[in-house]
A and B are shown apart, each in its own frame.
Chain A
């Protein structure tokens, strides 16, 4: 089997015309919601309502409803926070880093991944605020001149977190919107309904696809990608400092930043795959989001999964090499203590199962991929659970040890956050183009002038 590697693979299969691309991408927006869509939406909204009830009760009675205790004060809320922030990272990686690396296949999935970033960060941002129990006090994290004459402690990693996550959300939102402007123009010019046309005109800002604009637009897109790349790496680094800056055994470790970033991309790609597998089937976009996309994402999952596995092993090594009995105890306690089941769920889902992606047949098999990426999502949630709960429940003083048992409200909020995420995803898929129309056109066949001068 010989392949000509000098020719890039076609990003879109079947060479559809530009107008056909418009049609297939905009169809879900114009068509009335199907029965399947309504059923899915009712499920996710139900989950969302469960979360709303659980959060309402939490605000009324206080966080005592949760299983949190001393010493495990962070428990589910921070586990969920780190999990969701991590999910967000794939979006920026696809839209910014792969853009800088000139990976043209990203164009088909970038829009969706960026949307997922925003929704995941919204889910994530909710958790630290409800974890405070008195969410109205969150405003004190913003440095504004208040009557107490005091300022946030800028030396605290928790305040860094506020800046990192809110910057990340803002930048992702701006990046997403900049990419949407040309698509809003396309939607505007296709719309026949007056209300729709007004809304699209409003958001398109009067964009006219002018070459004088494209010149600046491409430059700015490059700058945004260049700024978003270090930003995305910084966000999970800062999140990992929440742990690494503490002296709790199992947390106080210099490998945390790269380990967290790799884990974030790992879980993020798994979530992108999970959702895209459904989207391409439901919206008939198999030729735009191709099996090649799935395979490439599976390769990244394999790579980052192996990095995460390496980090787990280094943690074992460091706990022995550090010579600290507490570190060694924490490592042993993780693998064989009361939460050993969680540790081995994490190990198997994150380290062992993704290794199956070494086989090309498995990488290109949709059902197996779906199972594996869901397992990765489960595993990555348990990774954060293991880090937080095992370290906190048994630290230096055996007299202060206390095991953690989540309550029904913890689970309600956890599953409800998935409801929030998927509700936003479903609403997005129905209201905005899930694939960037302008970007996908630019990588279709014969989209760029030939080198023969067009003869």
Chain B
């Protein structure tokens, strides 16, 4: 078969001693591309193959330590950072209690990585198209013979010379092994494509029908047709004939705080703005102002309403009257409304209202700046290298 490429020459030996002596000789004689196939590991063969021990243990070491580090930090993150829980009065990072899982996970990852590394990286398996497979030689060495193979890629390789050489070492059943023919992948065969199409159509049809049709047919529609009461329906079960269960009289919702100053025009007589105009408070105030106030009062509080023509425009907040309002009075207006402005008590929390007031004061200050403000701005601009005038 001249069109086939030669892979190598094989020989069989009857005893472990025979193969070991042959192996030593082959190595001595300077061959490089050789291998031995034995039904079980032969003592002393490792030294012929390589003088150094297998390095696969480093995979175990690396992945074992990585697994330990990962799972320890993972448990710390879940129980102390992501969802901190005090369990049995123990600290968030109880190291002794984390030891068992750390150990188990270390072993798990070390074993899986070592075996994967051995099979896929060191052995380059699966490799079911290897030339040696499915030969008479392979059938013998997986049972009771000990085989040697010298590959054609060896620099010293000469077909007839190697055949004689293996015979001289005591090898029997010399066999020439050829590379297998190129695999023809049948993936793009029309038959297979038609099969794939049918599978795709069938599985999408089954999925569609079961999710969109079947689920609405008995007995799968039990979720749709449950016995239940709706809030506005008449009840045959409860004595008051109402399906809706109202809370008992006097029930107070969690977190509810009564507003004591309804109708008081200026709450400043009781208390002032509890929030200081810090960066955080002003950012909150700006956000809420732009959301709730700016549609009528304008983005800068100057009364340039975006709803011009649809709703009466809000007055400017830069007028002397508004500047003269106390914080408590503005708070009362936001809470209770004024003229056509409705109450915002349900949209804006108390804290947010005070933050908005702080922000309004900033807007007012920027509308009527003092000379000292310019000095301050110039100073900060100079420091940040942002000089414009």
Q: Taking beta carbons and an 8 Å cutoff, which residues of A are in contact with B?
A: 17-19, 22, 143, 149-151, 153-157, 159-160, 163-164, 167, 170-171, 174-175, 178, 181-182, 185-186, 188-190, 201-202, 205-220, 223-224, 227-228, 230-231, 234, 238, 241, 437-439, 441-442, 446-450, 453-454
Contact B107 A160 (CB under 8 A): no
Judging by beta carbons under 8 Å apart, are A164 and B38 in contact? no
**Contact present for A208 and B37 (CB under 8 Å):** yes
- Contact assessment for B107 and A450 in the assembled complex, using a CB-CB cutoff below 8 Å: no
Contact A208 B100 (CB under 8 A): no
Q: Of B44, B48, B101, which is within 8 A of A154 by CB?
A: B101
Q: Does B45 contact A215, Cβ atoms closer than 8 Å?
A: yes
Judged by a CB distance under 8 angstroms, whether B269 is at the interface is no
Residues of B within 8 A of A238 (CB): 100, 104
Q: A154-B79, A449-B43 are in contact. List 6 more A-B contacts (CB 8 A).
A: A189-B139, A206-B128, A211-B45, A211-B48, A218-B54, A447-B16
B114 at the A interface (CB under 8 A): yes
Chain B residues near A167 (CB-CB < 8 A): 104-105, 107-108
Contact present for B101 and A214 (CB under 8 Å): no
Contact A234 B103 (CB under 8 A): yes
**Bound Cα distance A210, B37 (Å):** 4
Closest to A183 in B: B142
Interface presence of B322 (CB below 8 A): no
CB distance from B322 to the nearest CB of A (A): 45
Contact pick for B40, options A160, A231, A439, A450, CB 8 Å? A439
Q: Does B50 contact A (CB under 8 A)?
A: yes
Complex: chain A residue closest to B144, CB-CB: A18
Stretch of B87-95, B220-228, B254-262 at the chain-chain interface = B87-95
7 A-B pairs with C-beta separation under 8 A: A171-B111, A185-B142, A206-B130, A214-B42, A220-B54, A449-B42, A454-B21
Contacts of B40 in A (CB 8 A): 182, 214, 438-439, 441-442, 447
Partner of A449, one of B17, B57, B114, B132: B17
B110 near A151 with CB under 8 A, answer: no
* Inter-chain contact B123/A216, CB cutoff 8 Å: yes
In the bound complex, do residue A216 and residue B17 qualify as a contact, i.e. CB atoms below 8 Å apart?
Answer: no
Kindly identify which residue among B20, B79, B144 contacts A155, using a CB–CB cutoff of 8 Å.
B79
Closest A residue to B119 by beta carbon equals A205
Q: Chain A residues near B50 (CB, 8 Å)? A: 215
Say yes or no for B342: interface residue by CB 8 A criterion: no
A149: chain B residues within 8 A (beta carbon): 82-83
Distance in angstroms between the alpha carbons of A206 and B50 in the assembled complex: 23
Contact B39 A438 (CB under 8 A): yes
A208 with B118, Cβ < 8 A, contacts A151-B78, A160-B101, A449-B20 known: no
Name the residue among A155, A186, A188, A230 with the largest chain B CB count within 10 angstroms. A155
Q: A150-B83, A206-B125, A215-B49 are in contact. Are A220 and B118 (CB under 8 A)?
A: yes
Asked whether, in the complex, the Cβ of A170 is within 8 Å of the Cβ of B112, the reply is yes
* Cβ proximity bits B121-150 to A, threshold 8 Å, 1 near / 0 not: 011011111101100001101111000000
A22 to B141, CA, bound (A): 12
Q: Which residue of B lies closest to A151 (CB)?
A: B78
On whether the beta carbons of B142 and A189 are closer than 8 Å, the reply is yes
Report the minimum CB–CB distance from A88 to chain B (whole Å). 15
Within 8 A of A (CB), among B154-209: none
**B-chain residues with CB within 8 Å of residue A228 when the two chains form the complex:** 107, 111
Asked whether B100 lies within 8 Å of A164 as measured between CB atoms, the reply is: yes
Q: In the complex the two chains form, is A217's CB within 8 Å of B111's CB? A: no
Write out the residue numbers on chain B whose beta carbons fall within 8 Å of the beta carbon of A150: 83
- Cα A448 to Cα B19 with chains together (Å): 11
Judge whether A210 and B15 touch: CB under 8 Å.
Answer: no
**Cβ-closest 3 pairs across A and B:** A454-B17, A18-B144, A442-B40
- Residue on B nearest A209 in the bound complex, by CB: B37
A448 and B43 in contact (CB under 8 A), knowing A211-B49, A223-B114, A453-B17? Answer: yes
B144 touches A22 (CB 8 A): yes
The answer to whether A227 and B49 have CB atoms under 8 Å apart is: no
Closest to A215 in B: B46
State whether B107 touches A211 (Cβ < 8 A): no
Give the docked Cα–Cα distance between A186 and B128 (Å): 14
Using a CB-CB cutoff of 8 Å, which residues 24-76 of chain B contact chain A?
35-46, 48-50, 53-54, 56-57, 60, 74-75
Say whether A155 contacts B94, CB under 8 Å: yes
Assess the B53–A219 pair: CB atoms within 8 A. Answer: yes
Residues of A within 8 A of B128 (CB): 201-202, 205-206
Q: Are B108 and A171 within 8 A (Cβ)?
A: yes
Using known A-B contacts A205-B119, A206-B128, A446-B15, determine if residue A212 contacts B35 with beta carbons closer than 8 Å: yes
